[in-house]
Amino acid sequence: DGGITQSPKYLFRKEGQNVTLSCEQNLNHDAMYWYRQDPGQGLRLIYYSQIVNDFQKGDIAEGYSVSREKKESFPLTVTSAQKNPTAFYLCASSTTAGFLGNQPQHFGDGTRLSIL
């Protein structure tokens, strides 16, 4: 079955540590996204990529970094510069039209990041 796989489901970060969240899709989508969700809140866009080897900052990119070396993969690194990383992180993908809101986005089941 086609879909998006995020791993790990739970992740703990120590002070000063960088951690990387994995996101893999087999939907053959060009566009991929990372969102942050805080309790009781909506989604805020961290980074997005419309094509391999290209990505753009979203609304809250500070303290995060991404890469897009393969169409299927869009890992997110939460760096030590992100002082409040505790949140639920969601990865999504779509066709290029999905980025513009003309088609749905497809989501993984998220990674919950906490600070030790």
Which residues would be at the binding site for another protein (CB under 8 A)?
Answer: 4, 6, 35, 40-43, 45, 58-59, 88, 90, 92, 98-110, 112
For another protein, the closer CB: 69 or 109: 109
CA distances from 39 to 22, 67, 108 (A): 21, 27, 18
Q: Which residue has the tokens 């809140």?
A: 41
Q: How far is the CB of 16 from another protein (least distance, A)?
A: 28
Smallest gap, in angstroms, from Cβ of residue 111 to another protein? 10
User: Shortest distance, CB of residue 60 to another protein, whole angstroms?
Assistant: 12
Nearer to another protein, 19 or 90 (CB): 90
Left, alpha or beta for 92 (phi > 0: left; psi -120 to 50: alpha)? Answer: beta
Question: Sign of torsion, CA 39 43 46 49?
Answer: positive
Output the six-digit token pair for 48.
């997005």
Can you read off the two tokens belonging to residue 80?
Answer: 């030590």
Residue 50 or 79: the one with the smaller Cβ distance to another protein is: 50
Pick between residue 6 and residue 49 the one whose CB is nearest to another protein. Answer: 6
